[in-house]
A and B are shown apart, each in its own frame.
Chain A
Amino acid sequence: MNEYLVIIIFIVWYVFSLYVSETMGKTKKIGVQWSFFACIMLTPVVGYIITKISPKALQTIK
């Protein structure tokens, strides 16, 4: 594995983690922070699955 590949993996890993947590995570019970944590620690794919199966967050009653 060379350096460029590692850098690309790092960028892709982070970008997907950020995207999954900020878009899907905030509509789910797991929330943005735990979704991001799951993506960063367990790969964005695993984080995505965890976030996906998490129940929807309750709507705030105005």
Chain B
Amino acid sequence: MAIKWRKWNKAIHRDFGYLFFGMVLIYAISGIAINHIDDWNPNYVITTEDIQIDPPGLKLSKAEIKSLLEPFNESNNYKSHYYPNDEVVKIFLKDGTAYINLVSGNGLIEKTSRRPLFREVNYLHYNPIKYWTWYSDIFAGSLILLAISGVLIPRGGAGITKRGAWLTLLGILIPAIYLFTYFY
């Protein structure tokens, strides 16, 4: 009895497509995020606020620094502070920092918050633990299987010997041309 390889190929493609639907989204979303790492921080949202206060004088106590932060609702977020130089105090806040020039009164509050979704998918993309690497390897192998089984599913004019051949060739040529121009 002939093996109905098309039936099994279709079943494998279907099942792995369903199984790794979530993984494809995770790696695609984080891939886009990491591609544009120069344009934004995919893990954190950083907001800055310029502030101006009356020059408070040099070498402040902890209580004085907390009172400086009160108009900006950051007094309760105070953690610690130090002086990078004689005129500037750097204040560590919960989820942020503040810089205040003690002579001019100019300052900046920088707050950091986690960017939902992107932070989580990026974390997974970077293979945080051994077992996740195993699962990612299975996923990577399955992508190869999905690619091969996928091109074998359509038949006739839309199959790999006709329309599929040109598009598959194009898909291989694009990275090949890029690599050729980059290396040679």
Contact = CB atoms under 8 A, between A and B. Distances in A.
Contact of A22 (B11, B137, B141): B11
Given A6-B138, A14-B15, 13 more contacts: A3-B133, A3-B134, A3-B137, A6-B134, A7-B134, A7-B138, A7-B141, A10-B138, A18-B8, A18-B11, A18-B12, A18-B15, A22-B8
A32 B8 CA distance: 14
Interface residues of B, number: 10
Contacts of A3: 133-134, 137
Interface in B133-173: 133-134, 137-138, 141
Interface range, A side: under 10
Interface of A: 3, 6-7, 10, 14, 18, 22
Interface of B: 7-8, 11-12, 15, 133-134, 137-138, 141
Contacts of A14: 15
Contacts of A22: 7-8, 11
Contacts of B11: 18, 22
In the A-B complex, list the 4 residue pairs whose CB atoms are closest, starting with the nearest: A3-B134, A6-B134, A10-B138, A7-B138
Contacts of A18: 8, 11-12, 15
Nearest to A18: B11
A3 B137 CA distance: 9
Contacts of B12: 18
B30 to A, nearest CB: 22
13 contacts: A6-B134, A6-B138, A7-B134, A7-B137, A7-B138, A7-B141, A10-B138, A14-B15, A18-B8, A18-B11, A18-B15, A22-B7, A22-B11
B5 to A, nearest CB: 13
A11 B60 CA distance: 66
Contacts of B134: 3, 6-7
Contacts of A10: 138
Nearest to B131: A6
